[in-house]
Chain A
């Protein structure tokens, strides 16, 4: 078997899960001192391939060469010993330990801890890569960005020269992304090989040197960034020509369905997380909500669905105040929330149950008697599969085995099926590939056309600007302004997200 001369070389890698060919003879070459992006739709095999490079999965066949030496990893430890480390989407840190303790965990040299010496070594690495981590800080006090830096530092300390970053920007604010990119460039200068998995085309175009496109378990092509463009990459990824623009439909009516005023709520520690929120929403309108992660979006969503205790304020839905009512009453009035948390399954779906039971979740209240009726739910499940093109072996398959995009479709399909008048949807495209994103935008636009009022919470400013009628910015539990999405700019939104008040109130 010929190996490439590249620093990391993966040849003919095949991995089968059950009957699914996850990677089918994939090849990948990554050089030292390069940032190599892996681009592909959900289920293209990006994560599987990287999990094999980092020793989490074992390939069924194929060869992995690091520095011209064939390696067989049977655990992440083997991989890190060969200099390959992976930064996962879900951080593997111990909350109640400090940064330093997390780095040293399991890294004892000899019998005793040698904190002093090791700390000096860690500080050297921080200097070398321009990484800023407060070693004394506890992980539970850290922001997502800080945790990520710590995770990177930990991996570098363990001797990684090949770093795999699995969708690192998915959880970051735009500011944190800038910092991350600076660190990645520094790694590249220091001769590391950096593999960057992302869905976001603009980020790939900004940071990568070369891009490898994967599709359905196969390597399609590796291209130099200078010699390609987003359109071409997307088409390679999807396998057919595609229109990347997001359509915005004109507003249908001016009929106000939701009026929220002076909404206040406290979290468990008694800190005010919603500070007098005030906005209204029309039928057939998409109102976007932008904000840095953790600014109160989750609490707002839950409050509007009756799931979060409200201290004071009004939620007028078609003239009726719903504040203080229980979730069942919100549901019965046609308010529907689909909140996609980071783990996708935390709220709204039951992972171990099949599609039928998950659809039943929203229906069983409406039927008479003490028994549940699964037949109508099964019919609905089949409809949703057809309508939204859900990839699943069948309606009685546990949904945890579906891919993220398909899980999202099930959730959205179910929510839309209840024919809501107000749809609250948070992060519906989180972690999805372009093709599925566009599909979901289409679905939302269709609902808009029907006159559904949509509250669309998102982190991706491009989609907010492209899809919404108005954008409301929330910062630290406060509304800093509502702007017309046709006129707003990213810079303006960015400043508002950081707390700058905007007086020009769009209606």
Chain B
């Protein structure tokens, strides 16, 4: 069978929704076949996934805890991506944010709790922001490839924490186990309505970033710069400053997530503080079309997918690999559907008449 790819003109919001929903349906269908092969009932497994993600207050809370860093980091990434600055370094910015915040947590244990926490938030933002500034400066000054630089800086950040954890910051009371001392209660984000305060911070950020990207002058300049460097120059945008500024914001927001993860989830700094969420957030930022409200939705669904597939492992005795496979299948279809929002496939030579029929 002969087929060709044809570029689609702009598609409407409605067509977009149809494509995404079709992708999800196909994903469920394909994973369903796989689940059947495992000898289980797909419908039961899917219901169990929902149940595992949202089925009880506790599970819902866990899902939200997974979603919080995704939302925050995606918001950060979106700032850079809007400028077409491909910041793959969220992971490192999260880590450096956590590192800066941990410095305060470990050294000023006796400070009043609100003051210490606010200080840690500021430090987290600063740490991530500074880490983001480095590749921004290289790009703005010498035109280096930001994808490579941000990516490699992730490993530097990671190794730096490994060094601290095994070296200078190693807990002397841990009987030789390489771990950084736990934060004192002063440095741990309190819970609010069952989940740590991170969710409130995330929601506040969503609102701030929505207005920043859509209605502020800086946000407008970032968008213009992303679309056309020449036009931005022409409009009087200071290119150098704008690149640095937006990467400081982008990295800073990621750094905030680092602080939250270290304080509320890990209760200390460790090499696992980011745990790959800086990469996952690239997917959620992209699927959320770099728009704040969509990012929330996508992140929560993604977190539900993660939690749901971990639940079915214990509920049905499915192996971790199989659960990952189901998760991967769903991602594959949803991400792959992006292709069909831009191209359509036409078969054989029938398309000559098809257009005509469609009109009549």
Contact = CB atoms under 8 A, between A and B. Distances in A.
Interface of A: 16-18, 58-61, 72, 74-75, 305, 307, 326-328, 331, 337, 339, 345-353, 357, 360-362, 364-365, 370-372, 398, 401
Interface string B211-239: 10001111010011001101101111010
Contacts of B359: 16, 60
A370 B236 contact: no
B233 A327 contact: yes
Given A16-B355, A327-B235, A347-B230, 11 more contacts: A17-B9, A74-B4, A307-B233, A327-B233, A328-B236, A346-B230, A349-B231, A351-B228, A365-B236, A370-B218, A372-B220
A370 B220 CA distance: 11
Q: How large is the interface on B (under 10, 10 to 19, 20 to 34, 35 or more residues)?
A: 20 to 34
Nearest to A306: B236
17 contacts: A16-B355, A58-B351, A74-B4, A75-B4, A326-B236, A327-B235, A331-B236, A349-B231, A350-B224, A350-B227, A351-B227, A352-B227, A357-B220, A361-B235, A371-B211, A371-B217, A372-B215
Nearest to A331: B236
Contacts of A372: 215-217, 220
B216 A371 contact: yes
A345 B215 contact: no
Contact of B215 (A74, A347, A350, A371): A371
A18 B9 contact: yes
Contacts of B4: 74-75
Contacts of B174: none
Contacts of B230: 346-348
Contacts of B236: 326-328, 331, 365
Most buried by B among A58, A346, A351, A360: A58
Given A16-B359, A346-B230, A347-B228, A353 B235 contact: no
B355 A353 contact: no
A75 B355 CA distance: 17
B7 to A, nearest CB: 11
B56 interface: no
Contact of A361 (B9, B231, B353): B231
A380 to B, nearest CB: 15
B356 A60 contact: yes
Contacts of B355: 16, 58, 60-61
Nearest to A352: B227
B10 to A, nearest CB: 7
A407 B91 CA distance: 42
A350 B231 contact: yes
A17 B211 CA distance: 35
B228 A364 contact: no
A348 B234 contact: yes
Contacts of A74: 4, 349, 351
Contacts of B231: 346-350, 361
Nearest to B221: A364
Interface in B277-293: none
A23 B227 CA distance: 32
Interface in B326-360: 349, 351-353, 355-356, 359
B228 A370 contact: no
Nearest to B220: A372
Contacts of A347: 228, 230-231, 233-234
A128 to B, nearest CB: 34
Contacts of B235: 327, 361-362
Contacts of A360: 220
Given A16-B355, A18-B9, A371-B215, A327 B234 contact: yes
A360 B215 CA distance: 12
A350 B228 contact: yes
A343 B100 CA distance: 47
B227 A353 contact: yes
A325 to B, nearest CB: 11
A72 B349 CA distance: 8
Nearest to B228: A350
Contacts of A16: 355, 359
Interface string B306-334: 00000000000000000000000000000
Contact of B352 (A18, A72, A328, A348): A72
Contacts of B217: 364, 370-372
A486 to B, nearest CB: 34
B235 to A, nearest CB: 5
Most buried by A among B220, B235, B349: B235
Most buried by B among A305, A337, A353: A353
Contacts of B215: 371-372
A365 B353 CA distance: 53
Nearest to A373: B215
A351 B224 CA distance: 10
Contacts of A370: 216-218
A138 B164 CA distance: 54
Nearest to A401: B10
Contacts of B351: 58, 74
Contact of B234 (A337, A353, A365): A337
B231 to A, nearest CB: 5
A72 B236 CA distance: 50
Contacts of B9: 17-18
Contacts of A357: 220, 223
A74 B5 CA distance: 11
B264 to A, nearest CB: 31
A353 B349 contact: no
Interface string B44-65: 0000000000000000000000
A401 B10 CA distance: 10
A303 to B, nearest CB: 13
5 cross-chain pairs, A with B, having the tightest CB-CB distances, nearest first: A60-B355, A328-B236, A347-B230, A350-B227, A61-B356
A25 to B, nearest CB: 12
A72 B356 CA distance: 15
B13 to A, nearest CB: 14
Contacts of A371: 211, 215-217
A378 to B, nearest CB: 14
Contacts of B224: 350, 353, 361
Interface in B186-232: 211, 215-218, 220, 223-224, 227-228, 230-231
A344 to B, nearest CB: 12
Contacts of A307: 233-234
A72 B211 CA distance: 52
